[in-house]
Amino acid sequence: MVLKEVVSKDKDIAKLEELLKYNLTKEQSSNIEKEIYMLKKGYSGEKNSAHYIDTYYKDSENWVIIHDLRLEINEEVVQIDHLLISRFFEFYLLETKNFNSKITINEHGEFSVSYGKNTFGIPSPIEQNNRHISLLKKVLDKYEKILPKRLGFTIQPKFFNYVLVAPKSIVNRPKGGFDSSMVIKADSFKSEIDKKFDNLGNTEALNCLFKVSSFSTIRKVGSQLVALNKPSKVDYIKKFQIKPEQMRSDKSYYCFKCKKSISFKVAKFCWDDKGRFNGKVYCYNCQKVFKRSSQKNSQLEMV
């Protein structure tokens, strides 16, 4: 059962695109464009992972699913991409990384990503998720009534850390030293969980049976966590240090046909294709009409 869906980033992206119309420095514009790129890429990865998770578990009465859970505890914030709670009272925290490229993990647990000939080091998503688990434990300790009791004792969940990467990505793993088994492709998550249950030892199986809870119990736990969700409110003006005097545009760009206001990027696109638009600028919708008209004129000339 899905208790919370992936949060759309469309509003944040729209706000950032509006900021690009202001009189920004090159550094500010570059940073905002990077922010837009990362939001779009992250949102795409989360949606793709959510698709695989929901396909297998949304109709199951053995699991509850929470996407995009943001909790605050003692001025600290935990942003969990996906949280799955099973009837065995196991909490699976899944961190999504949308790398459609080559990911390398060395024997020390250090991560790097390669795009063509360029390789970049990145923070360990495993350690990032470990911090999420630590903060989630603090939340559960603070709101102790969330966890159910049995025979007078609070049932303590078992936490699992998984990093989901894009199905098309290539993962180079260390031959020894560091255990990278928790880094898996998003479309392989169910197979990984099934394998884990198949390999349970007798003691682990007994512990699972002791903790087994009803679907209504885990749904209640998940719902209480969702009730604590604190949506992020980013002040992009403050983040990118945009001054009041910058918050205006010296130049306004309008569509030649419908007079609708357009961005500099749309105007530049038209200017860069003078052969098609004759040096004039058009909004996206009017570009389609103009191109169709141009095609008809070309056909008439050929006749």
pLDDT for the residue 225:
97
Same domain, 48 and 136: yes
Rg (CA), the chain: 25
pLDDT for the residue 209:
62
d(CA 280, CA 270): 7
Instruction: Look up residue 6 and give its two tokens.
Output: 């992936």
d(CA 212, CA 64): 14
∠ CA 173-177-182, nearest 5°, is 50
d(CA 157, CA 147): 8
Same domain, 166 and 123: yes
Q: Does any domain span residue 243? A: no
For residue 292, the enclosing domain spans 251-302
Q: Does any domain span residue 161? A: yes
Domain end call among 209, 236, 263: 236
pLDDT for the residue 50:
95
User: Do residues 155 and 147 touch, judged by C-beta distance below 8 A?
Assistant: yes
Same domain, 119 and 146: yes
Q: Does any domain span residue 120? A: yes
Q: Does any domain span residue 232? A: yes
Same domain, 195 and 164: yes
Residues whose CB is less than 8 angstroms from the CB of residue 117 and which lie 6 or more positions away in sequence, other chains included? none
User: Do residues 133 and 159 touch, judged by C-beta distance below 8 A?
Assistant: yes
CA distances for 198 relative to 145, 159, 236, angstroms: 32, 18, 48
Q: Does any domain span residue 28? A: yes
pLDDT for the residue 291:
58
Q: Does any domain span residue 127? A: yes
Same domain, 175 and 266: no
Same domain, 277 and 135: no
Quick one: average pLDDT of 123-151? 94
pLDDT for the residue 83:
98
Residues 180/189/157/197 CA torsion (nearest 10 deg): -90
Residue 148 in this model has a pLDDT that exceeds 80: yes
Same domain, 68 and 207: yes
Same domain, 181 and 285: no
Residue 297 — very low, low, confident or very high, per pLDDT cuts 50/70/90? very low
H or E segment to which residue 121 belongs: strand 118-122
Residue 85 — very low, low, confident or very high, per pLDDT cuts 50/70/90? very high
Same domain, 255 and 214: no
User: Which has the higher per-residue pLDDT, 158 or 274?
Assistant: 158
Same domain, 88 and 165: yes
Place of tokens 């949280």: 83
**Amino acid identity, position 128:** Q
Distance of CA 218 to the CA centre of its chain: 24
Same domain, 7 and 109: yes
Question: What is the bridge-based pairing of β-strands 102-105 and 118-122?
Answer: unpaired
Which of left, alpha, beta for 68 (phi over 0: left; psi -120 to 50: alpha)? left
Same domain, 147 and 208: yes
When the pLDDT of each residue in the chain is averaged and rounded to a whole number, the result is 87
Quick one: average pLDDT of 223-239? 94
Quick one: average pLDDT of 120-148? 95
Handedness of CA 113, 69, 17, 41 (dihedral sign): positive
Looking at the chain, the number of H-run helices and the number of E-run strands are: 10, 14
Q: Does any domain span residue 246? A: no
Place of tokens 């911090």: 131
d(CA 6, CA 9): 9
User: Do residues 163 and 144 touch, judged by C-beta distance below 8 A?
Assistant: no
Q: Which of these ranges, 37-41, 152-156, 196-200, 243-247, has the smallest mean pLDDT?
A: 196-200
**Half-sphere exposure (CA, 13 Å, Cβ side) for 96?**
28
d(CA 233, CA 75): 15
**How many structural domains comprise the chain?**
2
Q: Does any domain span residue 241? A: no
d(CA 244, CA 22): 10
